[in-house]
Structure 1
Amino acid sequence: MPSSIQARSYDSTPSLKVAFIGLGVMGYPMAGHLAQAGHQVTVYNRTAKKAQDWVAEFAASKAPAHAPTPREAAAGADIVFCCVGNDDDLRSVTTGEDGAFAGMQRGAVFVDHTTASADVARELYAQAQALGLQFIDAPVSGGQAGAVNGQLTVMCGGDEAVFNTIKPVAMAFSRACTYLGESGSGQLAKMVNQICIAGLVQGLSEAIAFGMNAGLNMPQVLDVVSKGAAQSWQMENRGKTMVEGKFDFGFAVDWMRKDLGLVLDEAKRNGSRLPVTALVDQFYADVQQMGGNRWDTSSLIARLNKK
């Protein structure tokens, strides 16, 4: 079986016993990079078959294993990493009799890479502290490709001393891992990220649709304008596939709407006005109505091209 991660060099860090909870399109390769970096990794996934497949793929690494519950995966681990779907999923794998917190040793660190609310980050931080554990909220940006390549950007909130202990380990799947402040700060920074992306993708969609309607050679136009002030990651990585109408990859519209829901809820709390973000959220709702729930977020252009 070909590896699900791209080979890369890893910084030399002491081998630790770690756990990874959640082997989705992000978690599976992230856990793989930890194993390839020399850590002893135990994984948990709600669908056990995927955990078994992961162990088989990384069998050459240091004693990879899978566990039937988050609690058992976390037992004896120095750091427990997690990447699941939403606030409720996160609570389900951390709390309760079979949750990771019940299995973690005092002083161990839970690092959450889920894009979730700042409220749940603060809630779980407080619960962890009461149990003698540590909690870092650490959502990521870079998408599936970033996870596979080990080039994610990680935005962290919590106690800075604790962050400093987990950063060298998280760098196995990251190109940047940055401390941004107290608990919840990582999740708030990820919201900033998603606000930026929403506006960029809508602007790029309108620009490409306009150019196509004007009869321009859009791949050529994108090559030109990407060398000027309009350049962006979205243009470089999604522009040509948008011209071709290809969206069967990348960060799904359903996930983006979940994230923008978190953004808009937080904006109500802190008094921010986000008219463009709210509008783009509704444009993504239109894409869902077109059957594009699992299309990449660049599919905003599809609603402009709809006849």
Structure 2
Amino acid sequence: MMDINKVAFIGLGIMGAPMAGHLQQKGFNTTAYNRTHSKAKAWQALYNGKIAATPREAARDADIVFMCIGNDNDVRGVVYGDDGILAGLKPGAILIDHTTASATLAHELENACHKQGNHFMDCPVSGGQSGAEKGSLTIMCGGDEQTFAIAKPVMEAYARQIQLVGKCGAGQRCKMVNQICIAGVLQGLSEGLLLAETVGLDIHQVVETLKYGAAGSWQMENRAETMAKNEFNFGFAIDWMRKDLGICLEEAERQNIDLPLTRQVDERYAELQQEGCGRMDTSALILALKK
């Protein structure tokens, strides 16, 4: 078991910044990098950590390098090249990708790491901005058991549930399942709320009644009443969900399976994007039913 002292975190968005902050606060010597330097400076001022000018500089001498970026190409942009993470990784170091990305990218990065004597795990997260800030994320990990055993105690700085679900790529595929389930729940919740509103039920009473039964869900408890009030200026944006559902549908095509509900929800989100709603929370799906 490695004694992890120095870590790096690449990507200081609404998820990455608090995750990196938890690492620094839990005693890990953390160096962070963000493409927008002002965000890196703000993170440094808040958490008293170190910041680097390039991903390579951040990765230098780190035992584990974490990433939480936007999409496949964004990840490639910080991993490869003269100033990329791979150029700075010391022998035996671990690269962990928390980005919700494709399983294809996970296999690509695993091969790139192994070629130069490093280890890789794909570890997408669930729990949103609130979970990142509270340190209560769920992490779905793909990789080998030895690397997982080293990384898990470090990831516990910002996670409540960490599970190795299989070899490389399994973490991303598990996250696909997560996003598909959320899409289905939001579709059902939207239709249920539409009926409740139409027949004049009190939404608060409905939620308080149903949340303890078989229909209960995180989405019902946290989004139903705001959906009824047409409040969508928070949480996980439609733009991000469409990126994730696109990954799910591409994987389904590779596996030769059909995901009809996922396609339907994705199409409705596409319509909402065209109407300028892309930055709204995914619970805005109900608006597609009210046209």
Q: 1:289 aligns with which of 262, 267, 274?
A: 274
Give the aligned partner of residue 65 of structure 1.
50
Instruction: Give the TM-score normalised by structure 2.
Output: 0.98
Give the aligned partner of residue 129 of structure 2.
144
Q: Give the whole-Å Cα distance in 2 for the aligned partners of 1:24 and 1:197.
A: 22
Q: Pick closer, same or farther for the CA change 1:15–1:118 going to 2, 3 Å.
A: closer
Q: Give the whole-Å Cα distance in 2 for the aligned partners of 1:305 and 1:278.
A: 19
Q: 1:32 aligns with which of 6, 18, 21?
A: 21
Unpaired stretches in structure 2, ≥5 consecutive residues = none
Q: Give the whole-Å Cα distance in 2 for the aligned partners of 1:15 and 1:166.
A: 9
Give the aligned partner of residue 122 of structure 1.
107
SS in 2 for 1:223: helix
Instruction: Give the TM-score normalised by structure 1.
Output: 0.93
Can you list the C-alpha shifts for 1:260-301, whole angstroms capped at 9, x where unaligned? 000000000011210010000001112112211111110001
Q: 2:226 aligns with which of 234, 241, 259?
A: 241
8 A Cα contact 2:121 2:142, kept in partner: yes
Give the aligned partner of residue 74 of structure 1.
59
> What percentage of residue pairs aligned between the two structures are identical?
55
2:194 matches 1:209: yes
SS in 2 for 1:167: helix
Alignment RMSD (CA, Å): 1.1
Q: Give the whole-Å Cα distance in 1 for the aligned partners of 2:282 and 2:188.
A: 13
Give the aligned partner of residue 21 of structure 1.
10
Question: How many pairs align?
Answer: 290
Can you list the C-alpha shifts for 1:97-155, whole angstroms capped at 9, x where unaligned? 11101101000000100000000000010010000011100000001111011010000
Output aligned runs, 1:70-219, within 5 Å. Answer: 70-219=55-204
Unpaired stretches in structure 1, ≥5 consecutive residues = 1-12
Q: Give the whole-Å Cα distance in 2 for the aligned partners of 1:221 and 1:88.
A: 43
Q: Give the whole-Å Cα distance in 2 for the aligned partners of 1:48 and 1:33.
A: 20
2:113 partner letter: A
Q: 1:55 aligns with which of 44, 51, 57?
A: 44
